[in-house]
Amino acid sequence: MTGSSIHKTALDALRTRTLIRLPYMGGVASRVRTEPAPRPELQRSDAIARLVDSLWETKGEGHFDGALLGVTGASITEDEITLVCRPIRYRDYLATDRVLDAHPDSAFPLAVGVHAILSCAKGIVCLRLKNGRIALPGGAVDGQDLMRASSQALVHAVRREVAEETGINLEGRHIQLTGLYVGGYPTHLLAMLWADLSDGGIERTISAFKPGDALDQVQSIELRSLRDLIETMADLPLVMRAALRSLRHWGGDEPAWTIET
């Protein structure tokens, strides 16, 4: 997969309501490299700019319109990924689906999200949200992450998000990329990353961590067995299903490359 074909994949994901796994077989996360787009500033047509701003007026209340990592193209093989990127605004992320649908020939940037599969002897680290659902630690790759070395944007983002949401320090940990998907709503790239925390006294860290004011959606942190998560996968949120299936695919247990949403 090269060049603008990542946008064709994004359109396929949007129109078929699936998450599509990109053909990277998984490995050390530093094999995902970022390089700046030839023009650092995002070039928008007047029609796209109007669409983005009009959607922001209706959907943007309460959101911070900060800088995220936007991908305009990619070179992906089984062993390495290079993402052509530039900073975008949160409002661009919110408008992605509408822009891709209305302007399918544009290389409108796709935001990137990282999602952490943190395993230890007693299970997988999960967030219990205040709405009762569970989720994985993670979030968007932002402008500060993009400023890191070309092979460290995803690694830095997942370390930052995990520390903020769980208090767990991933510095020095071997982080594996188990899969990269296109899809979700809005359509964007989903990077699934795994780390083994079996030797880190994680149970004590989890029991002592108190979500701060910045994490107003998080009620608590808990460990769930991988078997229980797999058995109840159909009831889990989309991102968790994708992450678990990426882990199983990476381990040779999951052949499917798309997920119905």
Quickly state the pLDDT bin for 209 (edges 50, 70, 90).
confident
187: helix, coil or strand? coil
Q: What pLDDT does residue 89 have?
A: 92
Q: Is the pLDDT of residue 96 over 60?
A: yes
Overall fold of domain 5-260 = Nucleoside Triphosphate Pyrophosphohydrolase (3.90.79)
Mean pLDDT of 54-67: 87
0.85 cut: is pTM over it? yes
What residue spans define the domains of the chain?
Answer: 5-260
* 218-224 vs 134-135, strand pairing mode: unpaired
- The encoded tokens of residue 250 equal 């990476």
Mean model confidence pLDDT for the chain: 85
* 3: pLDDT strictly greater than 50: no
Per-residue pLDDT averaged across 47-67, rounded?
90
State the Cα–Cα distance between residues 244 and 252, nearest whole angstrom. 12
For residue range 160-179, list pLDDT tens digits in order: 999 888 888 899 888 999 98
Task: Tell me the pLDDT band of 218, cut-offs 50, 70 and 90.
Answer: confident
